[in-house]
Amino acid sequence: MLIQKTLMVFILLGLHHFCVFPQNNEQRIKVSGDIELVKLSKSAYVHISWSEIAGFGRVQSNGLIFSNGKEAFLFDTPVTESQTRDLVTWIRDSLKLKIVGFAPNHWHSDCMGGLGYLQSQGIESYACQKTVNIARSKNLPVPAHGFKDSLQLHLGNQLIDLYYFGAAHSLDNIVVWIPSERILFAGCMVKSLNSKDLGNTADDDLIAYPKTIDKLLTKFPSAKIVIPGHGEFGGMELIRHTRKLMDN
């Protein structure tokens, strides 16, 4: 009887762990008809938005919010300025956070489509210099501060590391590493486990891509949460899965 009771306790604990897994629908916070948040910790949220993207239909895109005290950084915006306004307004009014900085993963609209709105609100922006150059050449809103290989930002006493490891999904894609949370926001260069291929390869560098992914595997073995640009987040298995897709 004691063994049976002990076994039942472990089963219940296992079910409880499964039910509170962050991507469970009950843990999602609805911001609008097109935007949701998933709370990762007291300091971090994934923001998820849906938009129509030409050639792909209605697409889910991911971004990251990282806060410390009453301030926060935003990583990637929804596709449109109106969605970005809705997200920033909700963060301000419901989470009581002030967005003080922004960094896009790369130049595509599912990363910085809302940059113009952020700039209208006086929010500082940081990006790979390649992103700055591409945005300028395409007459897009241009991030204010560029970096070459890496940039360390401070949010109060917390660190945020931006890295450019090379071309992959785009020539300018970066990753965001939050050391205190062991969160890697890898963006579109990393694919969800449901992905059967590399998706949109119009701006890929398929020769450099494997080398860039290998650098992630080497640099971030301690990553607890890995967030792709689209689809469900997870752990290091997403990076390994992306690497395997290149061998198919």
- Beta strand pairing status for 124-128 and 150-155? unpaired
Catalytic residue (one of 86, 130, 169, 204) = 169
Neighbours of 156 (CB within 10 A): 11
Pick from 246, 176, 173, 171: nearest CA to 210:
246
HSE-up of residue 130 (Cα within 13 Å, Cβ side): 17
Concerning whether 148 is annotated as a catalytic residue, the answer is: no
Concerning whether 16 is annotated as a catalytic residue, the answer is: no
Concerning whether 111 is annotated as a catalytic residue, the answer is: no
- Amino acid of residue 69: G
Catalytic residue (one of 47, 106, 111, 130) = 106
Catalytic residue (one of 108, 130, 173, 204) = 108
Residue entry with tokens 């009771």: 5
Concerning whether 196 is annotated as a catalytic residue, the answer is: no
Sign, CA dihedral 199-202-80-186, equals positive
Concerning whether 145 is annotated as a catalytic residue, the answer is: no
Catalytic residue (one of 110, 128, 172, 204) = 110
Q: Quickly list DSSP for 168-236.
A: SSSTT--EEEETTTTEEEEETTS--TT-SS----TT--TTTHHHHHHHHHHH-TT-SEEEESSS--BST
Active-site residues, by number, are 106, 108, 110, 169, 188, 191, 200, 230
